Amino acid sequence: MRRNVSAGISAAIKGQSQAYDRSLSLYACKNSDAVRRRPDHEDIRQPFFHDGDRIVHSKAYARYIDKTQVFYLVKNDHITHRVLHVQLVSKIARLIGRSLQLNEDLIEAIALGHDIGHAPYGHDGETYLSKCCVRHGIGGFHHNAQSVWALDRIESLNLTLQVLDGILAHNGEAHDFEVHPCRDKSWEVLDEEMARSMRQHEGYSGIMPMTLEGCVVRVSDTISYVGRDIEDAITLGLISREDVPADCAEVLGSTNRDIVNNLVVDVIENSYNKDYIALSDEMAQAMKALKEFNYRNIYTNKEIKSQSAKIQNMFDMMFDELLDDVRKNGSESRIYMSYAKALDARRLEKYLDGLSEPEIVRDFIAGMTDEYFNDTFRELFLPVKKARY
């Protein structure tokens, strides 16, 4: 049984929330601004703090633990996985947010949920799954939209508009180093942006966050991985420290520690008491150049892409096999049985309402960890030896 706080404590908590809102910047999103799609039970937690808890306790969050960040099929316990990446984004974004007097609870919730929708095998898996989706006429696949879909439609967590919007608009890989919030969004606007994102085959949607907190997470996402990926690549022997371009190292440093520190300080200095988040031109150009170095020497490195063709074939084969299973067996199919265990009957019915079979398969594969993806493929396509005595 859930225990309710007394009237006196409830009043004190409300007073604390109001005091916190007054302590924030003029440009910050206040707790009192939080909007949910449906009326909900609020307890001693403030709304954005509550959202962070809901995300952490979701089934999708638990699956972060075995999802690729950059390097897959590598046996090394010190390489960054998706679960560590979102924690690093949260730490960096909260540090920036605290310095700019923004709402840290909102920042944390967006950061922890921003990559929930990533498919197995990272961005490569996203590309392969997107091709499957296009082939079956359901648009492309984009992890930012899938993150919102997983939290809002599949698990139906009733998160606030501001958190879901920040998650949808988090991917700022298009080198927009001055990020302005697009305020005054509504649920209708979010739903339209979601539909547009899920229809889009490739490229960036151009969707901007409605809050300054969302803008901070968008910038912090890049800050969190650009240096960390270099450290991982050095650990794996793909590059050496000396390979980092001298002009980038001179501005940013050549270690993740220095890169993160210099970028965070620059963001704070160029965003303080402003209604946007920005980097200086020098830092922005250096980070862009460093990302291009990473792309050439890490992300497209032939040594880590040697298994790519096999993985793409696995996505194609599994998508078609699961789709055939759903069409033939309906509620007795592998996907339905799995969802029936994870969701109660009401949520399952609500999730499935109006969805096509390819969309259901897309969601199922997107939710897989790398290991579960491999295990499912083995079960579907490889022979099993049985003992007979």
Question: Residue 321 CB: number of other CB atoms within 10 A?
Answer: 16
- Looking at every residue in the chain, the average pLDDT score rounds to 91
Which is nearest to 158 in space by CA: 336, 34, 263, 285?
34
Residue burial 291-312, b: 16+ Cβ < 10 Å; e: rest: bebbeebbbebeebeeeeeebb
The predicted pLDDT at position 387 comes to 75
The answer, yes or no, to whether residue 53 has pLDDT greater than 80, is yes
Q: Is the separation of the CB atoms in 303 and 282 below 8 Å?
A: no
Q: Please tell me the number of Cα atoms within 13 Å of 131 on its side-chain side.
A: 13
What is the token pair recorded at 327?
A: 């069409």
The answer, yes or no, to whether residue 340 has pLDDT greater than 80, is yes
pLDDT bracket for residue 175 (50, 70, 90): low
Q: Tens of pLDDT along 204-252? A: 668 999 999 999 999 999 999 999 999 999 999 999 999 999 999 999 9
Nearest-angstrom CA–CA distance, 353 and 369? 25
Nearest-angstrom CA–CA distance, 277 and 266? 10
What is the token pair recorded at 199?
A: 């229809």
What is the token pair recorded at 205?
A: 């949607």
Cα 197-176-191 angle, rounded to 5 deg = 25
Unique residue bearing structure tokens 């075995």: 66
Q: Tens of pLDDT along 293-321? A: 999 999 988 888 888 999 999 999 999 99
Which is nearest to 92 in space by CA: 271, 227, 261, 228?
261
The answer, yes or no, to whether residue 15 has pLDDT greater than 90, is no
The answer, yes or no, to whether residue 370 has pLDDT greater than 50, is yes
The predicted pLDDT at position 176 comes to 59
The answer, yes or no, to whether residue 174 has pLDDT greater than 60, is no
CATH superfamily, with its number, for domain 45-119+142-299: Hypothetical protein af1432 (1.10.3210.10)
What is the token pair recorded at 133?
A: 């989706």
What is the residue-wise DSSP string for 298-319?
IIT-TTTSTTHHHHHHHHHHHH
Least confident span in 64-73, 183-192, 373-382: 64-73
Nearest-angstrom CA–CA distance, 255 and 238? 15
More confident residue, 276 or 175: 276
What is the token pair recorded at 36?
A: 């949910």
Domain range annotation of the chain: 45-119+142-299, 308-381
Nearest-angstrom CA–CA distance, 224 and 221? 5
Give the list of residues 6+ apart from residue 158 with CB closer than 8 angstroms, or none.
36, 37, 38, 40, 54
The answer, yes or no, to whether residue 74 has pLDDT greater than 80, is no
